[in-house]
Structure 1
Amino acid sequence: MSSRRSLGARWRRRRPLRTRLALAASAAVALVAVGVCAAAFVIIRYQMTRQLELHLTQTATQLTQRARNWGPTAGDTSCRYQAVPCMQIVPSDPARDPSRPYALPAGDATRQVAGGRHTAYYSELTVAGEPVRMFTTKLPGRPEALQVALRSDTVDRGVRQAAWALSAVGGAGVLLAAALGYWVSRTGLAPVARLTATAERISATRDARHRIELPTGPQAREDEITRLATSFNIMLGELEQSVTAQRRLVADASHELRTPLTALRTNAELLARADRLTDAQRDRAAAALGRQLREVTTLVNDLIELARDEEPHPLVEQVRPAALLEHAVTAAREHWPQITFTLSTDTAAADITVPGVPPRLARLLSNLLDNAAKFSPPEGPVEAELSRVPGAVELTIRDHGPGIAPADLPHVFDRFYRAQAARALPGSGLGLAMARQIARAHNADLTAEAALGGGALFRLRVPAA
């Protein structure tokens, strides 16, 4: 028994969803059709039998009124005619039976009805080879029972005809249910089939550019399947963007790493022949090797930071942007002694706290300050200002350098992007991209714009706690 159940379960798991849905819908409709036909058969049979019994009751009432002075009477017919009832009167005492044999069965139940010890009843029997429905009741005021019988073959034939008709209707209903189940499964699961085909095509080709075709026009339905297909298309779009960004990151990283790795290999090969170099040449090669190692290390660390799209939640705490900015400006002054950094903090923003990871926010501020210092002229000022705005804290960092060209403004935060004016400056082109990623991870908004009077202005808005 358990093996049969396991086989059935495996069969259901292996069947496609369309087949299972078609079978379920067909079984449900077929069950309803069969149930309706069975109920109709029961009702028809009951009503026809009930009509026959009502006829027998009426006939018995009429005979009772006419048989007030009759004595025990044997059946005068053998129920040979369908429309003519046959009757007989049976006394409670068998000694009073007439000499003629009874045409209808007169048993103990009939004697008890005649004696008033049993209620009236209906019974089915066969008389002279014909089916008969008989009603037995007591004659009022007399110790006798009246039996009235009527042939029931007409009713039986009508019941059989109704059974055949309902069986045909039920069979047609089952076939119609199968057709409707197939149509429902095919129509209702068409978007799911397209979704499955698209997913299988993406799995086979590894191309996330495929999309599910959605119905358009005024007759397009907004049902659950359509919303599922729309969500799947949105997910595919996000996946395509993620794959494209990943490929671009890998390509840009390989391009950026190729030059320092080549220089590292050249200097390493040069130091391998140190016996042929002078002391000055060896010192220069060693210094260049160390500098290039630091650049590669910084670049790899930046790539690792960019590969992480979210901040670790256990490290999130309430931090004061004013304290972080003051610390970042102090570190920038030490790193860029030739640049003048000015800090202005609004009194209303001095004690505001925001949720975040302090080292990551400090890295964001240091990247912005380093970028401003890199583009500022010697002894040029870099202005950092912290203020309170409705529902947030706003930080602005402005330099007085060449500014940002309108063509470069949309790409300022792209990875490895360098404007024409920045290609001769040190750096990997990942600082602003990392700053934007850290800002997004903290639900902050980081934008860049051209400052009035020259230079670039970076604006960071962090939601307040």
Structure 2
Amino acid sequence: MNSRDLVESRRAARRLALQFAALIVVLFAVLGAVVFAIVSASQAEATQRSLVAASLIDSPHDAPPGVFVVMVGDHGVQSSPDLPNGLPDEAALRTVEGSGGEVQTALTLDGQDYAVLTSQGQRGISQVAVSLHESQEELARLGWALAISGVLAAVAAVLISAWMARRAMRPLVEALALQRRFVMDASHELRTPLTLLSTRAQMLRRTLPTASVDSSPLASVALPAHVSSASSVDIAAAVEEIVQDSRVLTEILEDLLIAADPREVAPTSRLDLVALADNAVALQSPEAKRRGLLLARDGSPGPVVIQAAGVSIQRLFTALIANALDHAKTEVHVEVSRSGSDALIRVSDDGPGFAAGMDAAAFERFASSRPVVDAPNRPRHYGLGLALVAEVAARYGGRVSIEPAAHGSGAVVLVRLRAGS
């Protein structure tokens, strides 16, 4: 694992730890709020019971500590000793005296809160005041305890989750690093023989005529008797194709290196999908002809422009056409068109089609989504082509799907990409 991978793994572990800690804090806050609400409701219920119980006592002097009673009856006004200033609540007494029943109010006297119950009884009007000071202090202590516990839980969650995240992500990071290293090593090893192949093909091209033997700079070189002027030109064209193919393979290797590392971004440019489709069809036509299949490009005659990397889209076309050729019976059609802000690539074949329910699984790696047409000299099918198509489409904000065949048989794969202006 190199230093860049190590830094990325630490950042990912830190993000995971913070997210886990935030989840723990949220859960603890919800739990604390529930506990606080339950305790608060329990204290309010206890206060209510104290008010009702105190309103039934016979004498204000029998009131427990923190409870103050005022009785108004035929024998005048009786009250508990040390009655706080502001009691009794004259307004509540007048209300009960006029309408009967009971009235419950809240008062703040000398900086303390009181719950006051004024009611009409058989012996007159009684008014009970219960101090809320102790219950409020208990709630405050509970709130502080929950807050401190929450902070400690958050710190512990960050430390523990950071340790667990690093341990959990290390195998994943090492696996990804191994995958990238394999792709880099394979690409590096393949680049050297490809460079040699391209160099040798170019050197061979220089020794062959480009139009006719007479126009060749080596016209004086004696060619074998069985090599005619026409066949020499054909050989030159074939060598040129080898040069082009080696250049395409080199570009594919570069694209694979970029795709192997999600931190890398391939340079993009304005591309014409129609031209790319024509080129892909031309490259695959010899293989289609060898298999006895018709390969044609349909759709828009004019350009359909997107913003992407040319080699990636060329790989997409190659994978789509190769997949269709593997399953087609007689023909494959490549259609490029535009629909609103989308550029559409639709590749259809007349093969066995996709099984029901394979819409999503068809784009997974090593998925056997439909049988390959049995024919001699067909290459082995690994189930990677459509997965590569889905990966390239997603890289440029597109998506891939399966459409029903127009005539009820065969398969249609549709790729949607963002069209350029």
TM-score (norm 1): 0.42
- Which has the larger Rg? 1
